[in-house]
Chain A
């Protein structure tokens, strides 16, 4: 491996401060906010369970069938609540996007999403089994009865089918094989599913059919989430796009299949975009206008100029390489908490980039304060030609004296994974004292985070940006 600038490891350790133990007691800002978010989500659960508790007639639970039905009702209530939470998480609420961080929110959304779909399926199965048990019919006949004789149940069944579909396209194995747009657009069906399911919640859901107060609260929650989606996903982006008039300024080839797109617009600085953040872009060109993609700023934003760098992955990103200057661009954002604020100001920083993950890292590398060994960059790629933007990185390293380590080669090479714990420790001896920013493909980021944890880097000091949404 070649080293552009070698930091002195000994010096680095000294400058980490006299009492790292003391400092490590301070959680990173993002960490605290994500705790708060979890707390808010959890707070709704007892409230939802209380609905059932209040409305269940004492003494009506008298046998196995009653218990199974009760479990079905409870899982239905929980699933409906969590669906609302899932949509709220993705409503691009500014507090969530920049304080908690889009990556954290997306991770919660992913984990909770899987769980919620399972709960919704359990709700349907348990209710059907419970009813069949109570009435002594067989579950298949009971399914027919429930579907056709109870109000709004066909709509609810359609909603369940949509939810399962969304769950399937999000399963890792399927997701990998699908184009981003397919996955994204299928996901929008969740809105339809929630609308379809809503009717049966009021007509057969005993907790709502009998209580105007509960109906009011429940509708209120739905309206609030719908309003958030409308405002933050539609109104704000539309207003900003119209006001700032962003256009493609020029498209610069950076290497095989990689282009940088420079963008200009009116008063972009007002938006306060920061290095490390990303935006969702919708290029108003033929074949592209109907899809939007998240791309990080690949340079620190300055003087009304933005830049993104896109790798041709064979899908719609191929069309981006042929964009013409002057093309209008709609955008959402800036989003993301993968910024300077995530780190502790007294700590040194290690940046780790894998492949296309270099884009936000490149922007941070350029703009993080410090000198010399304060900032190190490990840049992982399978082949030398995959080191995108490398010339620029060298320039920054030279100008600011930062360390730059390219780690090229296959994971299964003679020296083993370049991002293994041993290699990382050899490269960066004071790694456990640093704030680590990590961005790369899912598998690489996952594996690297584990290695970092083994080296004693606490989770709150590992900052990840994920592009899985």
Chain B
């Protein structure tokens, strides 16, 4: 019994460290993202209209897609393209598409829904949406059941990002 208690205590400590490390590691790339993707509030050399992350539910939906940040937009687009902020009843959804030589290689979530059960729904819906998008190589993806709002917002934002890439 004592052994088990000790094991559980050290497990708690270990998991706390791991989760802390993950939270930290997630924090690190953010500044880089903010620079490359013109996140709301970041200085935007391209002069796109600044969106407001504090009150994203303002009447600017759907806002125009932002411009690709690094590299020129050539026929074979590469780089990070930020999608529009799409409002849902559970808050804004915004994604960023990563393209390399015209191929969609990653989709990063910049804003996800909050409130209700959205966090836990997103925790299984977002990875699924991403893998669908990567497979389809487009925003033409099926909604994840139980996560309709998130799915719609995701698809719209991704479409905007892809439009920006191919412009």
By a beta-carbon cutoff of 8 Å, the part of chain A in contact with chain B is 49, 53, 55-61, 65-67, 69-71, 74-75, 78, 111, 114-115, 118-119, 122, 130-131, 134-136, 145, 149, 204-206, 209-211
Contacts and interface: CB of A to CB of B under 8 A. Distances in A.
Q: Which of A57, A145, A211 has the most CB of B within 10 A?
A: A57
B4 interface: yes
A231 to B, nearest CB: 31
A210 B127 contact: yes
A114 B8 CA distance: 10
A367 B118 CA distance: 69
A206 B130 CA distance: 12
B122 A60 contact: yes
Contacts of A59: 26-27, 30, 109
A156 to B, nearest CB: 14
Nearest to B30: A59
A61 B116 contact: no
B26 A135 contact: no
SS class, residues of chain B in contact with chain A: helix
B26 A111 contact: no
B120 A134 contact: yes
Nearest to A70: B19
A60 B128 contact: no
A111 B120 contact: no
Given A74-B18, A209-B127, A69 B29 contact: no
B53 to A, nearest CB: 13
Given A135-B116, A135-B119, A57 B124 contact: no
Secondary structure dominating the interface of A: helix
Nearest to A146: B120
**Which of A111, A122, A204, A210 has the most chain B CB atoms closer than 10 A to its own CB?**
A210
A210 B130 contact: yes
Contacts of B146: 149
Listed from nearest, the 9 A-B pairs whose CB atoms lie closest are A58-B26, A210-B127, A134-B119, A61-B23, A59-B26, A206-B124, A114-B4, A70-B19, A135-B117
Contact of A135 (B27, B109, B120): B120
Contacts of B112: 57, 60
Contact of B18 (A49, A114, A149): A49
Interface in B18-48: 18-19, 22-23, 25-27, 29-30
B4 A75 contact: no
